[in-house]
Amino acid sequence: MDDSDTSAILPEEFTSPSADEVPDSGSVSPESEVVDTSSCSPVCPGRPLFPCPLPVSVEPVLFLSMFSLALQMPLNTQYLWDRISENVGFNGTKGGGCRNSSGPPDPLEKEVETLTAHWSLYISLAGFAVGLLMVTLLGSWSDRGGRRMVLIVPSVGLALQAGVYLVVMYLRLPVGWLLAGRLLSGLSGDFNAILAGCFAHVADTSDPNNRTFRVAVLEACLGVAGMLASVIGGTWRRSQGYINPFWLVLACNLTAALYAFFLVPESVTPDPSARLFSRQHHQAVLRLLGPRSQGGCGPQLWLYMLCFFLVVTVHFGSRELFVLFELSSPLCWGPELVGFGSAAQHLSYLSSLLGLRLLRRHLDDSWVAVLGLTSNIAALLVISGATTTELMFTGYGLNFLSMASTPVLRSKLSKLVDPSQQGALFASVACVEGLCSLVASGVFNSLYPATLHIFKGFPFLFGAITLLIPASIIGTMRCREMKADHGTS
């Protein structure tokens, strides 16, 4: 890593000028907006109480939050399944896709599946609906009020959710109480607020030329955390049940909140007069994407946002089906191979980070994103027709650059808006990401059973075709930029 990259990653007290912080009357020079950290007291809003000596800033917050989320998500579904099975008197186990049974399906098992799916949907929708309003509020407010609170408050909310889940497990309360924990998390902004705060913080503290790599480092944190949680969660649940893993979830979220409070430097100048509950915050998000956005970049924002939506939807949708595809015929994988497959999926985050680091020395970010989408398309095409273990892992191998496109898109979106709008932008991106999860579940989980008897891998083929749209948009926009540059030169 060269010196410029190292300096961009060090967690100094960076600040960026914020147009929203300047009083309406008169103009203020950019120098007057920067926090003079040299004269800060230890409790100055722009400086953490104990500056971290390591070359990291918000990466541990995102890692811990993602680890706790990835650890608890499969456990939530399994806990619902077990509790509902007890309530309806079902003593069977959920069979794999290769089970050979000529008898009629057990009506109790069908009831358990239906109730589990319904409660999972209720809990997800409750958190998403409440979190959608709060993340836009918190994200836009952070442009004036500061980034650290947008990291601390959601982490505390996720810890409260884990606490409610532990109470439900200890006291064996009805599963409906899990909804209360999810609502508490949603009211604090949920994980999407942490995403928005972390990416906005990196946008504040990074040089535009190095921003794509910094964003890719954050995304690599997501992948590594998800890989570790997927390896640990299943084995731990089988050996010790649900309660101990949820204590770790609680500890991770509290640690993330404490780290953000004590060690993360503030990246914008906090405005004490900034109010949290104000319509102006939601209006700022609407202005951001409106026709009169900063510099007239509204159309470009919408196109890049569309690309981001399509790419992330395909990522989420295909990932939900991989395990089901592997468990069923003709692959019929066991738990060990499924674990190796999950690890191979998450390794694409690290390989994409390395590929992005190397390719950006010779290629523009847009072409790196197109190469990443090409890698993803090739992988989905191979997986759609995979009938052997070797072919399936070949598909995972071709997926090595698939995660290079999303950091490029986040970075391009960040560069299109004013520094004072980074919080509103990444709050919007986080909401789009939450919407992607819902759309991906609905579309891909509907396509799979509908096309099972025609072509089992059709959802993956559909995903590959869908990715041609963002690849075409990104390539076309880059070609137009190159033409414009040649025209002005």
What pLDDT, on a 0 to 100 scale, did the predictor assign at position 348? 92
What is the rounded distance in angstroms from the CA atom of residue 323 to the CA atom of residue 337? 10
The domain locations on the chain are 54-92+116-265, 285-489
The predicted pLDDT at position 285 comes to 66
Q: What pLDDT score was predicted for residue 466? A: 98
Identity of the amino acid at 145:
G
* 54-92+116-265: CATH superfamily: MFS general substrate transporter like domains (1.20.1250.20)
How far apart are alpha carbons 287 and 100 in whole angstroms? 57
Q: How far apart are CA 25 and CA 22, in angstroms?
A: 8
Angle, helix 211-240 to helix 190-205, in steps of 10 degrees: 150
Residue bearing tokens 């949680």: 229
Q: Are 460 and 444 in contact (CB under 8 A)?
A: no
Sign of CA dihedral 381, 387, 389, 391: negative
**Cα pseudo-dihedral 371, 372, 376, 377, rounded to 10:** -30
Phi-psi region of 26 (alpha: psi -120 to 50; beta: other; left: phi over 0): left
Cβ proximity of 122 and 179 under 8 Å = yes
3-state secondary structure of 454: coil
Specify the pTM: 0.76
Residue 46 confidence (pLDDT): 52
**What is residue 291's predicted lDDT score, i.e. its pLDDT?**
57
pLDDT value at residue 289:
66
Amino acid sitting at position 448? Y
Cα gap 18→204, rounded to integer Å? 10
The 10 Å Cβ neighbour count of residue 407 is 27
Residue ranges of the chain whose pLDDT lies below 50: 1-45, 94-97, 101, 295-296
The pLDDT, as a whole number, for residue 12 is 39
- The CATH fold assigned to 285-489 is Growth Hormone; Chain: A; (1.20.1250)
Residue 126 pLDDT: 81
Q: Do domains 54-92+116-265 and 285-489 have the same CATH topology?
A: yes
Quote the tokens at residue 403.
């995660």
Give yes or no for a contact between 293 and 287, defined as CB atoms under 8 angstroms apart. Answer: yes
